[in-house]
């Protein structure tokens, strides 16, 4: 069992939890992920690591409570435990002294992006950071990202705060020269940003949240076409050069279990049910 040490509501339905595991914390790096399984009937859910506290021996991750498992997870509080936490899995995000780096985070993904941004800052990069959300209420980690940014922008899908959508990035890309870009967010956002960076041939690293079961290379559910080759997001990624990713295939593969996911979520909403304890 793994204890939830703290739980913070970052925005409506978006939470950050800190989990007790010194072993995981010691080996975690930005860009890697955990797999959580809440109870003995639970599914294995991948969540990207948002930070560690080596003194406390904890690892953090943020999640948006939209599916059955994340909704169950949202009902747990500090002091509660979950059955299984496996990690760190996947490869760390590429971090080095690139020069000028563009970072774009969408929604809940701003939390793990901050972990990457901190590492890039330590490597003396100049950071232009964009924090995006659906509406002004969905913004998370704005202040944290701002604190490491040399230049900072906000955008919302509905224009309720900052820029109206991500279109303004085109102007930024036109005006400034970047050496590296990192995007974390929903696949639609990754695709959109990559479409804008492609004309500049800017290496744009995207973190892919493919469907996964084991997360250790066994099942191949997370396979994705990168540069014309089939790769496993869990073993070869999860960070890839977005310029080479076949996003249309990725979107289709992500939708494979949509009917079942909707059904499970509906059952949860109608019948309730939390994490089975003990």
Partner 1 sequence: MDKEQRKHETPMAKQDVLDRIHNFYEVALGYTEEQALAEAERCLQCPNPRCVQGCPVDVPIPQFIKLIKEHNFVGASEKIKEKNSLPAVCGRVCPQENQCQKFCVIGKMGDPISIGRLERFVSDYERNQGVTIPEKQKAGATGKVAIVGSGPAGLTVAADLVKLGHEVVMFESLHSAGGVLMYGIPQFRLPKEIVQAEVDYIKKLGVEVKTNYTIGRIFTIDELFENGFDAIFVGSGAGLPRFMRIPGENLGGVYSANEFLIRVNLMKGYKFPEYDTPIRIGKNVAVIGGGNVAMDSARCSLRLGAEKVYIVYRRSRDELPAREEEAENAEEEGIIFTLLTNPTKFVGDESGWVNGMECIKMELGEPDASGRRRPVPIEGSEFMMDIDTAIIAIGQTPNPLIQRTTEGLETTKWGTIIVNEETGAATKEGVYAGGDVVSGAATVISAMGAGKTAAAGIHDYIQKKKGGK
Minimum distance, C-beta of residue 278 to partner 1, in the bound complex (Å): 16
Which residue, 144 or 236, has its beta carbon nearer to partner 1? 236
Q: Which helix (DSSP H) or strand (DSSP E) does residue 155 occupy?
A: strand 151-156
The answer to the question of residue 69 lying near partner 1 (CB under 8 A) is yes
Going by the DSSP 8-state scheme, the letter that residue 217 receives in this structure is S
- Which residue of 13, 80, 157, 257 would you call a contact of partner 1, by CB under 8 A? 257
Which residue, 4 or 224, has its beta carbon nearer to partner 1? 224
Q: How many residues bind partner 1 (CB under 8 A)?
A: 41
- Which residue of 44, 75, 121, 203 would you call a contact of partner 1, by CB under 8 A? 44
- Which residue of 66, 172, 219, 243 would you call a contact of partner 1, by CB under 8 A? 219
The answer to the question of residue 273 lying near partner 1 (CB under 8 A) is no
- Which residue of 96, 159, 199, 220 would you call a contact of partner 1, by CB under 8 A? 220
Q: Would you call 8 helix, strand, or coil by DSSP?
A: strand
The answer to the question of residue 66 lying near partner 1 (CB under 8 A) is no
Which residue, 10 or 25, has its beta carbon nearer to partner 1? 25
Concatenated DSSP letters for 223-263? EEEETTEEEEHHHH-SEEEGGGB-HHHHHHHHTTTHHHHHH
b vs e for 28-49, b when ≥16 Cβ sit within 10 Å of the residue's Cβ?
A: bbbbbbbbbbbbeebebbbbbb
Concatenated DSSP letters for 14-53? EEEEEEE-HHHHHH--TT-EEEEE-STTPPPEEEEEEEEE
Q: What angle do CA 159, 204, 185 make, to 5 degrees?
A: 45
Which residue, 30 or 133, has its beta carbon nearer to partner 1? 30
Binding residues for partner 1, rule: CB under 8 A, are 23-24, 27, 37, 41-44, 68-69, 83-89, 213-214, 216-221, 223-225, 230, 235, 249, 252-253, 255-257, 260-261, 263-264, 267
């Amino acid at each position: 069992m793994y204890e939830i040490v703290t739980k913070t509501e970052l925005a409506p339905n978006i939470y950050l939890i800190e989990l007790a595991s010194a072993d995981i914390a010691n080996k975690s790096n930005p860009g890697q992920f955990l797999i959580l399984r809440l109870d003995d009937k639970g599914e294995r859910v991948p969540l990207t690591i948002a930070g560690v506290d080596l003194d406390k021996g904890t690892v953090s991750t943020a999640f948006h409570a939209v599916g059955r498992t994340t909704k169950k997870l949202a009902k747990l509080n500090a002091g509660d435990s979950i059955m299984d936490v496996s990690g760190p899995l996947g490869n760390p995000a590429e971090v080095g002294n690139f020069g000028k780096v563009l970072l774009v985070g969408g929604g809940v993904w701003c939390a793990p992006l901050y972990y990457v941004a901190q590492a890039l800052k330590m490597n003396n990069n100049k950071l232009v950071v964009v924090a995006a959300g659906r509406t002004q209420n969905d913004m998370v980690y704005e202040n944290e990202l701002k604190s490491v940014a040399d230049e900072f922008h906000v955008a919302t899908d509905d224009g309720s705060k900052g820029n109206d959508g991500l279109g303004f990035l085109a102007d930024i890309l036109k005006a400034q020269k970047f050496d590296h870009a990192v995007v974390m967010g929903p696949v639609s956002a990754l695709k959109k940003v990559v479409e804008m960076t492609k004309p500049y041939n800017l290496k744009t690293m995207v973190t892919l949240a493919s469907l996964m079961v084991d997360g250790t290379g066994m099942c191949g559910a997370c396979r994705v076409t990168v540069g014309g080759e089939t790769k496993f997001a869990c073993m070869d990624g999860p960070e890839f050069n977005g310029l080479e990713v076949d996003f249309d295939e990725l979107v289709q593969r992500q939708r494979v279990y949509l009917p079942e996911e909707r059904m499970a979520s509906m059952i949860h909403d109608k019948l309730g049910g939390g994490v089975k304890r003990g």
